[in-house]
Structure 1
Amino acid sequence: MELSGTVLWGEDYEPVEGTLVVEDGEVVRLDEELTDSDDVVLPAFVNAHTHLGDSIAKEAGRGLTLEELVAPPDGLKHRLLAEASREDLVEGMRRSLRFMEATGTAMTLEFREGGVPGVHALREAATDVDVEPFVFGRDSVDVLDVADGFGASGAADGEFGRERNAARDAGKPFAIHAGEVDASDINPAIDLDPDLLVHMVHAESLHLDRVADNEIPVAVCPRSNLVTDVGLPPVEDLLERTSVALGTDNVMTNSPSMFREMAFASKLFDVDAPDVLRMATRAGAAAVGANCGVLEAGRDARVLVLDGDSDNLAGVRDPVRAVVRRAGASDVKRVVLP
């Protein structure tokens, strides 16, 4: 397979005119050459934090606090999940995965409620969809038998030491929400030596230093934090200390669109476009050891092609900035997800 145009190549997403060569689902090389193509070729996105079960309740809960919306076990989300049929739950998640595929997302790091049955439901939803869900199971240690890792709700909800040890014994990553509402659960979360922290809205200097010392990657979800009125993560400070990935969080409150998340983050924070694109691609992949998120030889060929001659993108002078701040679903020309 050959994909020609302006290719955003390597860790720095350098715009290079040429042809990307793909064989057997792997990037082989980039041939620098003049082409007639206006396409922009880039790595497909990795959504670093989702709750796809919420797909059954989009835009529910207007005016509720974060605790009223999602806190276990009595938050609106959990009540609606308990009331939903398995058929409706699977179909809702499948439709969100289809949307993600159509808008260039290759992988999602999913916090999946419902224990072992919840993981099986997501696996079923992902059948015949090329988006790969990396599933952080929840609710019981037994979920590690079928999930890719364990995702804890937060240190304020329990100690999670047993779950953390079980994940380590299974050789699977342990992720945990921290610092979403306030700072009180951040140190206990870091004490668990997690492989991924989610949110960190209220991270203070001590927490930032501990994250740096322990080299813990962080997934931030700024649109979600704004909707739930908990504040905004210190993205610039986090980027100075660790790898930061971008997620869209609950489908209840936000579409799983990485285009929207990138544009929001780019315009809200003092972060350069290549850094935001890295947050939406390489950082999430690296957090779980996936071999994608970058176009370079030997990487999995999970590729997004945008129409650089669309009415929205025609005339763009900086393709990386355009991908991050301007591009959208209507500009997607092709998604290659082997």
Structure 2
Amino acid sequence: MHLEGTILVGEAFEPVEGRVVVADGEVVRVEEASVESDDVILPAFVNAHTHIGDSIAKEAGEGLSLDELVAPPDGLKHRLLRSASREEKVAAMARTLRYMESTGTGSFLEFREGGVDGVAALRDAVAGEGVDFGERAIEPVVLGRDDPDVLSVADGYGASGARDGDFDAVRSETREAGKLFGIHAGERDADDVNPAMDLDPDFLVHMVHAEAIHLERLDDRGTPVVVCPRSNLVTKVGVPPIRELAERTTVALGTDNVMLDSPSMFREMEFAAKLADLPARDVLRMATVNGAAIAGLNKGVVEPGADADLLVLDGGSDNLAGAHDLVRAIVRRAGAADVSRVVIGGDEIDSDEIDGDETGGDGSDAAGD
């Protein structure tokens, strides 16, 4: 397989006219050449924080506080998850996975509720078990919880927050197993940030209320942070200091709960870029290579040897044509309607699904994505 157009090469996203050659699931080479194509080729997105299990409850709980919405064990999402059948949850997750693929996401880091069975349900959704959509190509990195045995089936552990329990033992287990440990911190207030950082996690999520002492600790340790600004705005907890965090450590973007926001990395990039007023290349790294680095994936860049997870946009679309700064246009204005091809693991996603799923299966309008 080869793709032609303007290629955003490497972590600098340097625009190069030519073709990307793919074989055996990886980028073999990038060839500079004159080509007849308006396509723009960039790495597929890595969504660094999701809760897709609550795909069964999109836009539920208007007006509720963060704790009322998602706090375990009796927040609204947890009650709805308990009341839904396994089949309903698998089918809802499968629809979300299809939407994520069609909008250019190749991998995601999932904080999966429900213990061993919760992890298995997500893997069933990826495999297309019991649903009409078939197997998905998107690669999940699944961090389980709620069960002492979950590390046997998950890629790591995703803790809800330091105030919700004693995570010392599970942190030791993940370290011994060589698996990821991530934890929410500083979402509601600053009180749980230091206890979360004391666990020496592989990454922190949210850090809305990061204070000077926490920024200093990040500077010293380099602990990566995943920010989810749209979700934080919806739950009225504030917005993360993205620029200040990015000055001190690796920052990646996540879309958080499907209950609250569509898992669109286009929307997350646009919001984060306009909120933090960061250079477009920094924001695009947050949506691609930075999340891949946190998860230990060989993705998020277009360069020889990287996994062939690629997103192709129509640079001649009414939305993108005439862009003076291509990377800035992708970050601040591109959307689902501009997607022409998605390649994950070297295989192209069915073009009918990309063209036919512009509403995302969740009521989101492609033109506004």
Would you call these one fold, judging by a TM-score over 0.5?
Answer: yes
**Who is 1:295 aligned against?**
302
Letter in 1 for 2:185: A
Q: Quick one: distance in 1 between partners of 2:266 and 2:68?
A: 28
Q: CA deviation at 1:67?
A: 0.3
> How far is 1:28 from its partner?
1.5
Distance in 1, Cα, partners of 2:212 & 2:296: 28
Counterpart check, 1:266 vs 2:283: no
1:180 partnered with 2:187: yes
**Residues of 2 paired with 1:203 and 1:67: CA distance?**
19
What residue number does 1:66 align with? 66
SS at match of 2:42: strand
Instruction: Indicate the residue corresponding to 2:36 in structure 1.
Output: 36
Residue 87 of structure 1 and its aligned partner are, at CA, apart by 0.3
The aligned runs of 1:230-309 (5 Å cut-off) are 230-309=237-316
Structure 2 portions without partners, runs of 5+: 128-134, 346-369
1:211 and 2:214 matched = no
Q: Deviations over 1:179-212 (max 9, x none)?
A: 0000000000000000010000000111111122
What is the CA deviation profile of residues 144-201 of structure 1, one whole-angstrom value per residue up to 9, with x for unaligned ones?
A: 0000000000001112111101111111010000000000000000000000100000
| Residue in structure 2 matched with residue 171 of structure 1 by the alignment | 178
Aligned pairs for 1:105-254 (under 5 A) are 105-127=105-127, 128-254=135-261
Displacement of 1:310 in angstroms is 1.2
The answer on whether the counterparts of 1:7 and 1:42 sit within 8 Å (CA) in structure 2 is yes
CA distance in 2, matches of 1:141, 1:313: 49
SS for the counterpart of 2:205 is strand
Partner of 2:363: none
Letter in 2 for 1:45: F
Q: Which amino acid aligns with 1:244?
A: V
1:5-35 C-alpha deviation (Å, 9 max, x unpaired): 1100011111111111111111112111111
SS at structure 1 position matched to 2:281: helix
Matched to 1:64, the amino acid is L
Aligned to 2:361: none
- Contact map agreement 1:17 1:35 (CA 8 A) in 2: yes
- Report the Cα offset of residue 315 of structure 1: 1.4
* Counterpart pick for 1:337 among 344, 349, 364: 344
* 2:100 counterpart letter in structure 1: M
Equivalent-residue separation in structure 1 for 2:84 and 2:278 (angstroms)? 40
Letter of the structure 1 residue corresponding to residue 244 of structure 2: D
- The letter of the residue matching 1:232 is V
3-state SS of the aligned residue for 1:126? Answer: helix
Letter of the 1:235 counterpart: I
Q: Deviations over 1:13-67 (max 9, x none)?
A: 1111111111111111211111110000000000000000110000000000000
- 1:188-241 CA-to-partner distances (Å, cap 9, x unmatched) read 000000001000000011111112211211000000000000001111111111
How far apart, CA to CA, are the structure 1 residues paired with 2:219 and 2:107? 26
Give the alignment's Cα RMSD to 1 decimal.
0.7
Following the alignment from structure 2 to structure 1, what is the Cα–Cα distance between the partners of residues 303 and 213?
37
Match in the other structure for 2:132: none
Q: Does 1:93 align with 2:93?
A: yes
Partner of 1:20: 20
Q: Which amino acid aligns with 1:316?
A: A
Hey, what's the Cα distance between the residues in 1 that align with 2:147 and 2:85? 21
Q: Which amino acid aligns with 2:42?
A: L
State the distance in 2 between where 1:23 and 1:320 align.
26
* Equivalent residue pairs, number: 338
Partner secondary structure for residue 149 of structure 2: helix
Conserved 8 A contact 1:4-1:19:
yes
1:108-157 CA deviation, whole Å, 9 max, x = no partner? Answer: 10000000000000000011011111000011231000000000000011
Tell me if structure 2 keeps the 8 A contact 1:141–1:166.
Answer: no
In percent, how many aligned pairs have the same letter? Answer: 68
- For the 8 Å contact 1:301–1:337, the answer to whether it is kept is yes
- How far 1:291 moved relative to its partner? 0.1
TM-score computed with the length of structure 2 as normaliser: 0.91
TM-score (norm 1): 0.99
- Using the alignment, how far apart are the partners of 1:316 and 1:25 within structure 2? 31
